[in-house]
Amino acid sequence: MKIDRIELRLLRLPLVHFFETSFGRINDRPFVLVRVEGSGEAGYAECVAGADPYYSSETTQTAWHVLGDFLAPLVLGVDFAHPREVFPALNPVRGHNMAKAALEMAAWDLYARGAGLPLWKVLGGERQTIESGVSIGIQDSLAQLLDKVRTELAAGYRRIKIKIKPGWDLEAVKAVRAEFGDVPLMVDANGAYRLEDAEHLAGLDEYHLMMIEQPLDYDDLLDHARLQRRLRTPICLDESIHTVRAAAAAIEMQACRIINIKPGRVGGHRESIRLHDLCADRSIPVWHGGMLESGVGRAHNIHLSTLQNFRLPGDIAASERYYAPDLIEPGIDVGSDGCIPVPSGPGIGVRIVAERVEQATERRLILG
């Protein structure tokens, strides 16, 4: 597989509903769409870096710079026997996992299309449908939160995650439990707490949550280990796990009992598979996170979620919750059983609507 041309596009799509986390509210989402070409085929992926360096230090602008000036030259014209060779080729660049992942994942799509295989087969997946959960942002009122939860449960989603922050935590969880009983429920703090909040967070224990995601700082492991010793609720790490090595350390020091895998955070499919395998080996369940992807990234996430140790519903919901219209047609749908069928065509197996991509494009760059 040789990549002889790379196209970068900076797109912006309006969100169907605003999305609010502990670091703020967004109404639309810019992202970089990567198209790689070689041997008469094209592969696609999107970069999950956002407008602001709040979830991670990367932004769409840093990704654009690093992709164009440093990563593209490392792969253009190189003959790769398999897309698992792409991430190691990017090794001279430190960090910038989201930029790396976009390029690497587009290469997997290209390879799978060339082989005439659905991506999940190339990745080593095993299932035909994946379980879907939703991530519900911070709302303006508890009444609005309950409305949202009601809608998502009625749609069939298999797990509800609510975003929390100091001032929007115990009351929100209590209200959801009071209204909906024993539904599969978890919370995500995106690093909004400190170890000094341990006693306050232990107040969540009585609500029997599936887990609390990333309660402490984005790069912390040690305080999470200290916090986990004081909580019955399992800690799941998101932001803190940016390499397989960080995951090995986190597991060894018992900083978490569950890990969320986002390929953008760890550098793509190859590193996600390594992380998945490590967790399987250490009996740590994993689930697939979400980054408000368009249908392109969403399709990649679905294929990756077919690996055997993705044992909990992921943050991979229907396209219509995010963008209307999406970049793909048809969009990703969730059945009334809360599951998403895995696309069966070659590569990511979704049809990208060229006019929609064109319409949403703010900048374009061709390399090679």
| Interacting residue ranges for ligand OSB, rule: CB under 6 A | 55, 135, 188, 190, 238, 289-292, 315, 317
Does 174 participate in catalysis according to the annotation? no
Q: Give which of ligand OSB, Mg ion, none residue 315 binds (C-beta under 5 to 8 Å, depending on kind).
A: ligand OSB
Q: How far apart are CA 179 and CA 122, in angstroms?
A: 43
Q: Which of 100, 148, 163, 165 is catalytic?
A: 163
- Shortest approach of ligand OSB to residue 161 CB, angstroms? 7
315 binds Mg ion (CB under 5 A): no
**Total number of residues that touch Mg ion (CB under 5 A):** 3
Non-local CB neighbours of 177 within 8 Å, separated by 6+ positions: 185, 207
326 binds Mg ion (CB under 5 A): no
237 φ/ψ angles, rounded to the nearest 5 degrees: -100, 140
Q: How far apart are CA 190 and CA 23, in angstroms?
A: 8
Q: Give which of ligand OSB, Mg ion, none residue 301 binds (C-beta under 5 to 8 Å, depending on kind).
A: none
- Shortest approach of ligand OSB to residue 25 CB, angstroms? 12
Q: How far apart are CA 209 and CA 161, in angstroms?
A: 10
**Tokens coding 140:** 């303006």
Q: Give which of Mg ion, ligand OSB, none residue 55 binds (C-beta under 5 to 8 Å, depending on kind).
A: ligand OSB
Does 262 participate in catalysis according to the annotation? yes
The three-state secondary structure class of 163 is: strand
Do residues 132 and 26 make contact, with C-beta atoms less than 8 angstroms apart?
Answer: no
Nearest to ligand OSB of 111, 323 (CB atom): 323
Non-local CB neighbours of 200 within 8 Å, separated by 6+ positions: 169, 170, 193
- Shortest approach of Mg ion to residue 324 CB, angstroms? 24
Q: Max alpha carbon distance in the chain (Å)? A: 59
Nearest to ligand OSB of 119, 261 (CB atom): 261
293 binds Mg ion (CB under 5 A): no
Nearest to Mg ion of 37, 188 (CB atom): 188
Nearest to Mg ion of 213, 293 (CB atom): 213
188 binds Mg ion (CB under 5 A): yes
Helix ranges restricted to H, 292-368: 295-304, 354-360
Q: How far apart are CA 123 and CA 135, in angstroms?
A: 26
- Shortest approach of ligand OSB to residue 322 CB, angstroms? 7
Residue nearest to ligand OSB (CB): 290
Q: Tell how strand 185-188 and strand 160-163 pair up.
A: parallel
Q: How far apart are CA 91 and CA 317, in angstroms?
A: 32
363 φ/ψ angles, rounded to the nearest 5 degrees: -155, 150
191-230 residues in contact with Mg ion (CB under 5 A) are 213
- Shortest approach of Mg ion to residue 235 CB, angstroms? 12
238 binds Mg ion (CB under 5 A): yes
Residues forming the active site: 163, 262
